[in-house]
Amino acid sequence: MMKTTHKHYILNAANMAAVADCSINLVVTSPPYPMIDMWDEIFCHQDGRIEKALKKPDGTLAFELMHKVLDRVWKEVFRVLSPGGFACINIGDATRTLGDNFALYPNHARILTAAQALGFTALPCILWRKQTNAPNKFMGSGMLPAGAYVTLEHEYILILRKGGKREFTSPAAKKNRRQSALFWEERNQWFSDIWMDLKGTRQAMGKQTNRNRSGAFPFELAYRLINMYSVKQDLVLDPFLGTGTTMLAAMAAGRNSAGYEIDPSLLENFYDKCHDSPGHFSSVIQQRIYLHNEFVRQRLEAGKPIKHENTHYGFPVVTRQEKELVFSIPVSVEQQSDQSMVVNYEIPSRETAHTVTAPPNTPAVPRTSGAKSRTDGLLFPDFDPGP
């Protein structure tokens, strides 16, 4: 039976001493955002000069000092990543008025520059459209030119790689890679550069204070990235673990994980949350299978043949690369210590894959008439692992 291990450390990620050099296959993370005021306190704790710069006010200096705090973590990320390993960093730019001066603070550009200086290769990034319906979202002079500002409604997912392409050399590694494949129609949606369909997280949090402070990203953001940039049994790290979304997504995807978080309150009851999650994890996979079956049905109805068959489940697949794709469903979570959990998996049977029904909240699959993209909706719009 497949197992994965998940460890979290309540420590500053500027020193990830428990993580060996070149031991991590993928980093999925979202740091505190410089110049967004909800994160001021956490930055000021890590460098006293930041508070003075904000009070002065000197936005340029505060921005740079906050990024210097993050640079220490990016250095560690580079050290622990294995050659060919990826770092996916979710970050938004900030706008802020200091004194009389309203300005943009381009966080994504500053992180890219720092990452390239460390030796990372920058790859095409994803824009995640994060719509806001706040009534005061338009800023500036309203209908009167020329003093209004464009509303920022997107964030970035920076995609960085350490060194050249990852090699899969042994027969076992190649097989595991084939078993970790995505569906063709998922590839078409997930590898597009703009994700319109991810909403801010709905994760229920134990305490209101935590919810205000968490800045959690949607489960699906982490789940997609993990499936896109790692294979089963890999080790995924989140140095800014927050409420543990990356760790939950790693569990659902059959990857091992590790995480660092400086604020212990965010991970209170984390084991209970994981322990109660296998039902949700299972519906994530059920939904992928269900949507694939729907895609196949529509494609065949549209008179488009599907040449290949998945060897494990017997359903049609568009490409040869999907033939060995096999899902691992988490069935139980065991606590090993205060910081460590083991997840046990089983493989859904051929019969289950054929009879799977749509879990609650599955989006309607629009008729594709053979179009490339299966759906503009979320795969798991309401996935919520609970408090």
Ligand X SMILES: C[S@@+](CC[C@H](N)C(=O)[O-])C[C@H]1O[C@@H](n2cnc3c(N)ncnc32)[C@H](O)[C@@H]1O
Which spans of this chain sit near ligand X (rule: CB under 6 A)?
12-14, 30-32, 42, 73, 214-217, 239-240, 242-243, 245, 260-263, 266
Q: Which of 270, 210, 272, 218 is nearest to 246 (CA)?
A: 218
CB 94 within 8 A of CB 110: no
Q: Between 19 and 266, whose beta carbon lies closer to ligand X?
A: 266
* Nearest approach, Cβ of residue 199 and ligand X (Å): 14
Instruction: Give burial (CB, 10 Å; 0-12/13-18/19+) of 146.
Output: exposed
Q: Between 245 and 257, whose beta carbon lies closer to ligand X?
A: 245
* Nearest approach, Cβ of residue 243 and ligand X (Å): 4
Nearest residue to ligand X on Cβ basis = 242
* Nearest approach, Cβ of residue 160 and ligand X (Å): 17
Cα–chain-centroid distance for residue 164?
22
Q: Which contiguous run of DSSP H or E holds residue 209?
A: helix 208-214
Q: Between 240 and 345, whose beta carbon lies closer to ligand X?
A: 240
C-alpha–C-alpha distance, residues 285 and 97, integer Å: 45
User: Residue length, the chain?
Assistant: 387
* Nearest approach, Cβ of residue 318 and ligand X (Å): 33
* Nearest approach, Cβ of residue 75 and ligand X (Å): 12
Q: Between 185 and 220, whose beta carbon lies closer to ligand X?
A: 220
Instruction: Give burial (CB, 10 Å; 0-12/13-18/19+) of 259.
Output: buried
Helices (H), 245-313: 245-253, 270-275, 278-301
Provide the angle, in degrees to the nearest 10, between the axes of the packed helices 219-229 and 245-253. Answer: 50
List, in order, residues 6 or more apart from 43 with CB less than 8 Å away.
Answer: 32, 34, 50, 65, 66, 69
Q: Between 31 and 85, whose beta carbon lies closer to ligand X?
A: 31
* Nearest approach, Cβ of residue 225 and ligand X (Å): 11
DSSP state of 368: -
Q: Between 281 and 327, whose beta carbon lies closer to ligand X?
A: 281
Q: Between 120 and 217, whose beta carbon lies closer to ligand X?
A: 217
* Nearest approach, Cβ of residue 339 and ligand X (Å): 14
